[in-house]
Structure 1
Amino acid sequence: MGERLPMDLTAYERRARSGRCFICAFLAGDAGYEHEPLYDDGSWVAFLNRYPTLPGSALVAPRRHIEDVVRDLDPAEYLSLQAVVHRVARAVNQVLRPERTYLLSLGSRQGNAHVHWHVAPLPPGVPYEQQQYRALMAEDGVLRQTPEEIAELGRRIRAALAELADE
């Protein structure tokens, strides 16, 4: 799956629990919170995961700061968000051709509180014991990616998203 860089999980947790909301900071253009954008329709956004454990991992989130998907989204908003998650997942699949794509919402009111979905494409050939949650955990590090590789992957996924819009 590529070379990995160690992840300082203690610093990450400290930032997630006491720092600014990473999604709101990204959307505000704050330094240190940059992500490669994939999609923005004014209500929902998608962007590449800054700390990917799987190539092409993306996040999909509401633009407004929402902390509880059940209490803070009505059924129509929830379905609209899920439609974007599905569309982004289809675009990621078109570009990366994974064996499976994991879709899950993580976070907590104690850290990373802004509701977001992970679109995590599992590459073909990953041994079973390294799949599922194991594939998502940063304890073994995160993928090393150059800014050029990130930008190119973003370009390819945005192009796939544009093709899907024509369907």
Structure 2
Amino acid sequence: MDRDTYTARARTGPCFVCAYVNGNPDYRHEAVYEDEAHVAFLDRWPTVPGKVLVAPKAHIEHVVGDLDEAAFSSLMRVVRTVALAVEAVLAPERTYLLSLGSQQGNAHVHWHIAALPPGVPYEQQQFHALMTENGVLAPTPGQSADLAGRLRAAMPADHRPDRSRS
């Protein structure tokens, strides 16, 4: 991962979630979940195995202010559904849930689901485990496809994505 290129793309490029939802081939990810209003896909630069991003399909920038109570609750149900699949497949010590991004970059609301593997020393947990400065994993396309398939299989059938986007 080239952090400078990533930062420039996050700050000046198209919205990565909207590009993914619209099928832009430069923003392909392995799909994990999809319904009429939400998507979930594997992080392209995971810092822990199986890191998944969950987002509304609509371009929303404020996680609390731009979502009414029903939309917020719906999004959080999706986060929970995907997180339960992540836990079923990866058996983490802890599952971290974070909404990151800002008006300066990656503005589209998205939640990170990050499964902390068992046995990670305490000093390497929490934010340390999530920061790309501490390294990213480089799963092969085959490994990512396999993991995404196992995550999809761990979800209720009505929550599996349209494979044409992955």
- Distance in structure 2 (CA, Å) of the matches to 1:36 and 1:42: 18
Which runs of 5 or more structure 1 residues have no equivalent in the other structure?
A: 1-6
Alignment check: 8 A CA contact 2:89 2:151 kept: yes
Q: CA deviation at 1:8?
A: 1.6
- Distance in structure 2 (CA, Å) of the matches to 1:14 and 1:163: 38
Match for residue 46 of structure 2? 52
Match for residue 140 of structure 2? 146
Indicate whether 1:95 and 2:89 are aligned: yes
Match of 2:109 among 115, 124, 145: 115
The CA RMSD over aligned residues, in Å, is 1.3
Match for residue 29 of structure 1? 23
Indicate whether 1:18 and 2:15 are aligned: no
Match for residue 3 of structure 1? none
User: Mapping of 1:118-133 within 5 angstroms?
Assistant: 118-133=112-127
Q: CA deviation at 1:164?
A: 9.3
Q: CA deviation at 1:144?
A: 1.3
Alignment check: 8 A CA contact 2:45 2:138 kept: no
TM-score normalized with structure 2 length: 0.93
Indicate whether 1:86 and 2:92 are aligned: no
> Sequence identity, in percent?
60
Which secondary structure state, in structure 2, belongs to the residue aligned with residue 66 of structure 1? coil
Residues 164, 130 of structure 1: CA spacing in aligned structure 2 closer, same or farther, 3 A cutoff?
farther
What is the total number of aligned residue pairs between the two structures? Answer: 159
Q: CA deviation at 1:163?
A: 6.5
Q: State the one-letter code of the partner of 1:144.
A: A
Q: State the one-letter code of the partner of 1:139.
A: E
